[in-house]
Amino acid sequence: MSTSTSTPAPTPGTLPVLGLTLGDVAGIGPEITLRTLLEHPDLREECVPVVVGDAGALRRAAPYVGVDPDVIVTLERAGDATNDPGLVEVVQIGEPMPEVPIGELSAVAGDGSYRFVVAACDLAKAGEIDGIVTAPLNKAAMHAGGHKYPGHTELLAEQFGVDNFSLVLSAGDLYFFHLTTHVSLQQAIAGITPQRTDDVLDLVSAFADALGRPGTPIGVAGLNPHAGENRLFGDEDADVLEPAVRRAQERGIAAVGPLPADALIPQAVQGKWELVVVCYHDQGHAPFKAVYGDDGVNITVGLPVVRVSVDHGTAFDIAGKGIAREASLVLAARRAAALAPGWDAVWRTAQRVEA
């Protein structure tokens, strides 16, 4: 594969450096990472992408997508990246991983996916990268590897020592903030507390302010059908969400609701709402993925560094077949590159809110 381009890439020092964690190497992470970096050379005009992971896993995946393994090179540090569109530049994390069966749950791969994320957080803390982009990990594999986290979001929050954060699904100008995520439905209901609702509404407002969109209305989805229908279908909407919306309004936040989710979410898709708060994982994820598919990404708001992820899983069923689509990872990298330069304002605003 040629390393030359008709238009030289911008100087790496002028662009945000993004750490792309490789995810679970038994899944499609290595394949979509290679395709993202080698089949989309224009991405290098927006950022300097550096893989945080295992070069050996990428080289093993290279034949699946028709890539010469020799274009995969290791770096001593992220700052050494050349941003050559014909190379995949990797910060090797630990010793090379042993080969793991492709498409199968592996404790070794689960441990690796954990280590890659921790290493990326360390690079961000050291100022070596400006953002983190995550390929998918497998939660069961990570647990088998000894790391008992519900997912990326909670692991990242622990690494950065933050308590107030939210998983945010985004497509274009639409953002779905989540009150709860990777917990059972019973735990989600218990987790929708007055404090948590206040915290997330503050995060949404801080995010809107930092993006130059202060005063944007925030639609809050009800927990129960018809937002409780005047307590006919539960008390949580009246007892927790309504008072939280009123308190937010008193703080100058343009919160509205709670509104029936089956009305609010279609309205958001049609453009009436840009900022939406949903109560639990599937209330946000199911309709979002049904509508946006590969056009959506997952942003973690509340961290001191921007983190954007694909909105799909490890896809063990197609791993190694060379058919995995990289569209969501490309979009995640582009979104991280766009957000990274202004992310400090998001972080500082959120910190002021928490204080």
Residue 352 has what pLDDT?
A: 61
Q: What are the tokens at 211?
A: 């993006």
User: With DSSP H G I counted as helix, E B as strand and the rest as coil, what are the percentages for the chain, rounded to 5?
Assistant: 45, 15, 35
pLDDT reported for residue 3: 34
Residues 6+ apart with CB under 8 A from 345: 210
pLDDT number for residue 342 = 83
Per CATH, the architecture of 1-161+302-341 is what? 3-Layer(aba) Sandwich (3.40)
Fold of 166-300: Isopropylmalate Dehydrogenase (3.40.718)
Q: What is the pLDDT of residue 353?
A: 54
- Specify the pTM: 0.85
Q: How far apart are CA 165 and CA 350, in angstroms?
A: 9
Is residue 88 within 8 A of residue 57, CB to CB? The reply is: no
Tell me, what's the pLDDT at 13? 61
Provide the residue ranges of all domains of the chain, joining segments of one domain with +: 1-161+302-341, 166-300
What is residue 210's predicted lDDT score, i.e. its pLDDT?
Answer: 77
Q: What is the distance of C-alpha 266 from the center of its chain? A: 23
The pLDDT of residue 5? 35
CB 165 within 8 A of CB 153: yes
Residue 117 has what pLDDT? 95
pLDDT per residue rounded down to tens, the chain (355 residues): 333 333 334 445 689 999 999 999 999 999 999 999 999 999 999 999 999 999 999 999 999 999 999 999 999 999 999 999 999 999 999 988 888 999 999 999 999 999 999 999 999 999 999 999 999 999 999 999 999 988 888 899 899 998 888 889 999 889 999 999 889 999 999 999 999 999 999 989 988 887 788 999 999 999 999 998 999 999 999 999 999 999 999 999 999 999 999 999 999 999 999 999 999 999 999 999 999 987 888 898 889 999 999 878 899 999 999 999 999 999 999 999 998 988 887 787 667 655 4
Query: 1-161+302-341 and 166-300 share one CATH topology?
Result: yes
The answer to whether 324 and 115 are in contact (CB under 8 A) is no
Contact 253, 218 (CB under 8 A): yes
